[in-house]
Structure 1
Amino acid sequence: MSVQGFTNIIQGPLTQYLQISQQIGGDVGQHSQLVHNAFQVQFQYLTLASQSKQPSQPEIINLLKPTSDQISAIQDFREKNRSSKFFNHLSAISESIPALGWVTVSPAPAPYVKEMNDAGQFYTNRVLKDWKEKDKKHVEWVKAWIQTLTELQAFVKQHHTTGLVWAGKGVAAPPPPPPGCPPPPPVLTDFSAASTAGGDADRSALFAQINQGENITRNLKKVTSEMQTHKNPTLREGPAPFKTPARTGEYQKGNHNLLVENVEMNNVVYLFRCTDSTVVIKGKLNSITLDSCKKTSVVFDSLVSAMEFINCQSVQMQTEYPVPEQYKTTVVPGKGLSTIIVESKG
């Protein structure tokens, strides 16, 4: 595998994103530092994979915890700053940063990265709408971040087509670094004579408790089965898996009853190698992608961004709600009303 390809992403579009974020400053600048940390953690993980044989699943979960923690920190920062004037910037990153979870996806991690990139498009479009006439730095900021994930998708597709590639040789992957040392013990002070008397009383009370004999255990707290790790599996669980707003369907054949409900505007639907099938999607979502499908139809209510066909044959799409249109009507002397379509300049 090529760790250098990931290094090129960090030194290229990611660095540009970080620099522009610092120029914008405020919450955007602080948020970008968390993003930088997340990419550094992933770089360490990829370096480890290039030098080690694949560990067991419990070990992988343990090794992925730093990445999971960084993604959570990025999303928590957005939630704590919902009143920020840069909320759309924070949301664009928070909705798409789970793309770093591609290391857990198989057999098609590259499309997953694209889905996460699309998931953030709803908010990047808002950034462009709000700032393109005020400050061009925000336009460059959007381009740099989208380019970062686009190059990440290309890197994954080239080097990890069906999933993260481990070296297949070498020593087992070491565990992540342990947490820092505990704080030092409190400094011992010079006890005064007054405290000595109090100390004698405390020692007398301690000896009185010890002399209770078997009754000393009656005040101990009982450990229930729910508190024992060998009887409560939930206490042994690893970090939560990466959350994704994607809905995926693969290898459906001759199925005309596929139904996707309760979608949200940051959700994406990805269909792969479906044949002679029909999918009905209820609600408004971000985007729909058909990849390598044949004779497949998609019926949906409404979209935020785009409907995309990749290497498909004889596919159809149908929207149930009206497609937004914009017209400009003017009064022309002697001719009446003249209506033209307003072209998008975004």
Structure 2
Amino acid sequence: MHVINQLLCSAVCPSNSHLNKETELHDLLKPISDHIHEIQNFRERNRGSSFFNHLSAVSESIPALGWIAVTQRPGPYVKEMNDAATFYTNRVLKDYKETDRRHVDWVRSYLSIWTEMQSFIKQHHTTGLAWSKSGPIAPSSLFDPPAAPSAPCPPPPPGPPPVFTDDDPLPQTGSAGAQHSALFAQLNQGMDITKGLKRVSDDQKTHKNPNLRTHGTPTKNKAPGAVSSQKAAVQKRPPLLELEGKKWRVEYFEQKHDLIIEETELKQVVYVFSCNNSTLQIKGKINSIIVDNCKKLGLVFENVVGIVEIINSKAIQLQVLGAVPTISINKTEGCQVYLSKDSLNCDIVSAKSSEMNIMVPEGDDDYREFPVPEQFKTVWDGSKLVTEPTEIAG
């Protein structure tokens, strides 16, 4: 927060009005990008944490701090990040609103960061980071820790009080979140990205030194096998099926079609992550099921008192033998849901998904297939928006 405070002070306060050519914006933003990198990496490292939804809410929305680099209307960009966080904070509220008020307070406090930041941007930087028109050039030591209190500048919204702790080890580098953050940091360089290029002398240019055309380029390229060797070095994580507290963890199974969870309790949840071409059967009655980042997974369960969620997955087949109140399908390509007679009244909620089909029982062994609409038409009826499914003729 010190970095953002100092940068906003330089933008708003007349005493630090604008950046000179020696002070590059991407250098000033580097500490922010580094922190975003660490936060997203930490979330990827702790997918099995009981606070995974909390971590995801922070990880998905923390790029909002990069609004400083958005040249036109950064407010909507922050709102988009806030919406990404809301997807996961809604899960937190669903899990804890009846059991632990601290989680509810944390959600409200955290989301208020981005709503207040939107208000701040709308008031001071509607069309982008606005520098004062008068005052001296910002010093190169802008981000050095202040030696003494200075005149107050409009501060960004305060962070929420720490509520939860997690003693897991530090994150590893090289994850998808880390690569995303590295790309974000490069984009922040803007026009200064070319400053990292090496100067090519005349004797290295083929049009000024014809001899190079027969001898190849003077620069050394990486061996073709370097990339493949790096990919080969990535080790697959061992499969896992175990009960951790009240959570069943089913992770990293490949071509395993005899997975069974038998000894279940009402308060237990099942979290299925990164399982491919496998089948899982869950017996008894449990609280909820989450299927995340799976491909070609078959899931058969008896009774769920909460919700069954399918997210970030492909080619999922789900069969209900008993009852379930809600099935949620998000960011999924291909999902077939086989309902039982006891689950015909369940709610099926979908978002950003395709190729969804609901199989309704007819008779003893027959099913009738109903596709879930993917395209909608919205019209204004004079007082409100009306949305209804539509089909493409053809």
Q: TM-score, normalised by structure 2?
A: 0.38
The structure carrying a bigger helix percent of its residues is 1
Q: Relative to total residues, which structure has the larger strand share, 1 or 2?
A: 2
Higher relative contact order (CA 8 A, sep 6+): 1
TM-score, normalised by the number of residues in structure 1: 0.42
Q: Rg: which structure is higher?
A: 1
